[in-house]
Amino acid sequence: MTTADLHLHTLYSDGTDTPRRVVELAKQAGLSAIAITDHDILDGYPEAFHAATELGIELLPGLEMSASSDGREVHVLGFLIDLADQPFQQLLADQRLRRIERIHEMIARLQRLGVVVTADDVFAEAGVEGTVGRPHVARALVRRGYVSTAKEAFDRYIGNHAPAYIPGSPMGPREAIHAIRQAGGVPVLAHPIYLKDDTVIEQLSREGLVGLEVYHSSHSPELIAHYEQLADHLGLLRTGGTDYHGSSKEGVPIGSVTVPYALVEALKQWKQNR
């Protein structure tokens, strides 16, 4: 059966592999299609596209947009985005600038806690071209020796209930859904397990959400069955993927969560008929 993995990160956000490497690994895993879904950025696409063309694997334009609702983080995947859409690219550039400001705010909090790490340490972890975020703060804290793992960095300092946490995106999920649709894309709620609230999914499905990420490396078989039913009940398309982050997230290699290619066709069909 031909299968796809529709949730992969590269070093354009908080993954650790180049887009080319991600495509190579997907090919080795025997996948026929993938989507690279970096946080708030589409810039990994051209490099990945070259590799995908060479290796004969299909690449869908994609991303994962950060939003927040009532203090909760909501991630919205966007598939089949029109890459030339300038207003959307501008929106993403603004989101990334806000992320840079946020790093400075988190650094100030950390310094008040006696943790001496600089914004430049964090930007060095992120590289120059991509999206900077908390995983890069975590890596800087590991490098400086304040914690021994990224998980410890989240638990002690930058996790959602930890003292140096600054909320991420000022955008609501409804805005993210709208922006993705405006750019020709298909909006899909990522990893609903982290939301733990089906009423939000119901609400978003009335506000333009098109799909639900039913299959994800953090979903148990029971949860998958639950989200399959919920997606059908709400008329949402199903998607799925590994949420691969390279060496920064162990135990979930590319291709460990896949979906049948028919679900990719359903996304394309929706875009065509919109």
Copy the structure tokens of residue 234.
């709400």
Calpha distance 119→240 (Å, rounded): 34
Q: 55-65 burial string, b = 16+ CB within 10 Å, else e?
A: eebbbbbbbbb
Candidates 98, 96, 85, 99; CA nearest to 41 is: 96
* Residue 70 Ramachandran class (φ > 0 left, ψ -120 to 50 alpha, else beta): left
Binding flag, residue 151, ligand AMP (CB under 6 A)? yes
Minimum gap (Å) between residue 144 Cβ and Fe ion:
21
**Binding to Zn ion in span 189-248, by CB under 5 A:** 243
Q: From residue 125 to residue 164, what is the string marking binding to Fe ion with x (rule CB under 5 A)?
A: ----------------------------------------
Give the count of residues interacting with Zn ion (CB under 5 A). 2
Q: Is 57 helix (H, G, I), strand (E, B) or coil?
A: coil
Q: SS3 breakdown of the chain: % helix, strand, coil, rounded to 5? A: 45, 20, 35
Residue 154 contacts which entry, ligand AMP, Zn ion, Fe ion, none (Cβ below 5-8 A, type-dependent):
ligand AMP
- Could you say which of 133, 211, 246, 255 contacts ligand AMP (CB under 6 A)? 133
Minimum gap (Å) between residue 151 Cβ and ligand AMP:
5
**Binding to Zn ion in span 51-70, by CB under 5 A:** 64
- Residue nearer to Zn ion on the CB measure, 24 or 64: 64
132 within 8 A of 126, measured Cβ to Cβ = yes
Minimum gap (Å) between residue 133 Cβ and ligand AMP:
3
Minimum gap (Å) between residue 108 Cβ and Zn ion:
27
Residue 17 contacts which entry, ligand AMP, Zn ion, Fe ion, none (Cβ below 5-8 A, type-dependent):
none
DSSP 174: H
Edge-to-edge strand order for the sheet containing 186-189?
62-69, 72-79, 186-189, 211-216, 237-241
Residue 81: half-sphere exposure toward Cβ, Cα within 13 Å = 34
- Residue nearer to Zn ion on the CB measure, 109 or 194: 194
CB neighbour class for 169 (10 Å; exposed up to 12, middle 13-18, buried from 19): buried
Residue 150 contacts which entry, Zn ion, Fe ion, ligand AMP, none (Cβ below 5-8 A, type-dependent):
ligand AMP
Binding flag, residue 14, Fe ion (CB under 5 A)? yes
Task: Name the residues that contact ligand AMP, by CB under 6 A.
Answer: 14, 39, 66, 133-135, 150-151, 154, 159, 168, 245
Task: Name the residues that contact Zn ion, by CB under 5 A.
Answer: 64, 243
Task: Name the residues that contact Fe ion, by CB under 5 A.
Answer: 14, 75, 190
